Chain A
């Protein structure tokens, strides 16, 4: 990992960020969490959750505004604000990191069924016949039987635009 800086630089690897299990529902637009920098035993779970999973949450949910509150209140809590203005309040007092993770996943996260359906919809959109900079084949010259690449062999004049639109007349 580049730059082994900070308390646990493992969290700053692409592999770790991709391991985020919580994918928030489309209706969740803002998610804020109140934790404490120097937690007492009841506040410890929230601090650990933020330490380990906050970056993963933001990485996997780039269109959700994640807000961190440090010490604004005594009890650690999570607040999710939905598109229609509704608020979902989650109490994290006395919970462990894993329990908090599961609560958020079960209450605000997308279910396995929804994820599977979205995956299938995405594969349907991808046409394997496409070529270009975003696809597997960059140029049609890579396909057997098509015209050779113009960077390697000059294109015959009857295929060039100038010839075609002027019908070969000088």
Chain B
């Protein structure tokens, strides 16, 4: 252990971490979650902070904690067992269902879900028009050829752009 690394002064009674394991204790199978907490250690030689992970077992009273959730844990006044000293207070971010706390909209890969769905709907509107799906094999003879289809799509795109740039639609934004 380097003599320049100073142990973190953050007390362990109230922490934030990610659930890495789920288990249960006791005869009545009380659900617990192992939470990985990262506290920063200062290296006084390099003058830099490095995150050091520690795992704490936390009693999950509500039973809602899932793997990968970002949770807040608090030390219990009466620990459950020797190892389970903390309890899960609340989930800050659920794994796979991140809701932006400011706008309250769901986020998937740097994009709001409602925005990406609206974009998708717009693209489908341009590509397919009134049809919900591309032409089925039985209707192949009735379906338009590639060039006609392409022209129709370009026209729909052009119309959308015109309606987008018109004063009424731009003011409604």
Contacts and interface: CB of A to CB of B under 8 A. Distances in A.
Interface of A: 1-3, 12-14, 17, 29-30, 32, 36, 55, 58-59, 62-67, 71-75, 77, 79, 81, 83, 85, 89, 91, 93
Contact of A58 (B16, B40, B93, B107): B40
Contacts of B110: 36, 71, 74
Interface of B: 8-11, 14-16, 37-40, 42, 45-49, 72, 74, 89-90, 92-93, 98, 100-103, 107, 110-112
- Please name the 3 residue pairs, one residue from A and one from B, whose CB atoms are nearest each other, closest first: A62-B9, A12-B47, A73-B100
A59 B49 CA distance: 9
A105 B143 CA distance: 65
A17 B15 CA distance: 24
Contact of B15 (A1, A3, A58, A65): A65
Nearest to A38: B110
Contacts of A13: 47
B102 A91 contact: yes
Nearest to B106: A73
Given A3-B46, A62-B10, A89-B101, A30 B15 contact: yes
A65 to B, nearest CB: 5
Contacts of B15: 30, 65
27 contacts: A1-B47, A12-B46, A12-B47, A13-B47, A14-B47, A36-B110, A58-B40, A58-B49, A59-B49, A62-B9, A64-B10, A65-B37, A65-B39, A67-B16, A67-B38, A72-B98, A73-B100, A73-B101, A74-B103, A75-B100, A75-B103, A77-B102, A79-B101, A81-B14, A85-B72, A85-B74, A93-B102
A66 B98 CA distance: 20
A30 B14 contact: yes
Contacts of B38: 67
Contacts of A74: 100, 103, 107, 110-112
Nearest to B105: A74
A89 B46 contact: no
Contacts of A62: 8-10, 42
Nearest to B49: A58
A17 B47 contact: yes
Contacts of B101: 73, 77, 79, 89
B10 A65 contact: yes
A72 B69 CA distance: 12
A73 B104 CA distance: 11
Nearest to B90: A85
Contacts of A89: 101-102
Contacts of A58: 40, 42, 49
